[in-house]
Structure 1
Amino acid sequence: MADESTQSIVVDAPPQDIMAVIADFPAYPQWANAMKKTEVLGEFEDGKAREVRFTLDAGPFKDVYTLAYEWAGDGLRVDWHLVKGQMQKTQKGRYLLTPEGDKTKVTYTLAVQLAVPMIGLFRRKAEKMIMDIALKELKRRVEAPNRA
């Protein structure tokens, strides 16, 4: 398994608002720039996604992949892992939400192993960029005054 990378950001919203955006996979193409298409393939009894197929186009990195999700009962954590992908051998990730008064600290952990070899330095730089963009786009979406 690849080394994990972790990044955090503070969002001006309660955890349930943030988790609602994270769990709304059909809306990802509206706010996650590299995400071109999402398709929920299966759901748990509570309606949360069990498996989701993503079509990603991040310039030189394009992929169609499926992730399986595990949602924590307290609504503060979601974990996922790769079921199948074209460019990825493995992917394991997590969002962990920590309430901080009226705000929430969002910690994003990601480990990706590509099917093609990549020098560790470039892989870590790519992971950092992906995580930085994902957290900033999530924050912007959650804090948007006209989000519906």
Structure 2
Amino acid sequence: MLYGCDTQGRGTLLTAGGIREATPSMGTEANAHDFYLDPMATSSARNLSKRPTREISVDSPPKKKSGSLEDYVRELSETQEELDHAMQLIEEDGIEEGSELYYQALYLCKNAVYRRAFTKMKTKEDRLNWIQFNWDRENK
């Protein structure tokens, strides 16, 4: 080959004179044999053309462990207890079952964070304002 070398399926490396020889200047006449690829030069060129490697640390979230059946049942039970407590508060606050406000509260309490906030509120007024505020915010 006169100018090129196959670099393991990554395309063709074009070079003039190889790595170790001086490349003829523009003013000199070069014969075809002046442009050859020395096998050692080709291997050096491959090593030089490789990208430098470096350790890259990615802060990915931890992989979720596949929980046991006991973990799943415990979590489901806790969720059910929280939902039961939220529904009890809704009833104690006098929100009529079947009313629009009742359905809004149930809808908002399906979210664990919302449900926890709702059940931690101390007064009926706070809970009613919370329902209205979050319903309006969710449905803009």
Shorter chain as denominator, the TM-score bin is: under 0.3
Q: Radius of gyration: which is bigger?
A: 2
Q: Normalising by structure 1, what TM-score?
A: 0.22
More helix by share: 2
Q: Normalising by structure 2, what TM-score?
A: 0.23
More strand by share: 1
